[in-house]
Amino acid sequence: MNLNLIHTWVLQRSINWKEETKISGQEMGNYRNYDSWFVEINNKKQKERE
Print the domain residue range for 37: 3-48
Q: What is the pLDDT of residues 14-43, one digit of tens each?
A: 766 666 666 655 565 565 566 677 777 788
Number of helices (H), then strands (E), in the chain? 3, 0
The predicted structure's pLDDT at residue 1: 56
| Polymer length in residues for the chain | 50
* Domain tally, the chain: 1
Determine the Cα–Cα distance for residues 1 and 45; give it in Å rounded to an integer.
26
The predicted structure's pLDDT at residue 5: 72
Determine the Cα–Cα distance for residues 20 and 2; give it in Å rounded to an integer.
27
The predicted structure's pLDDT at residue 25: 59
Q: What is the pTM of this model?
A: 0.31
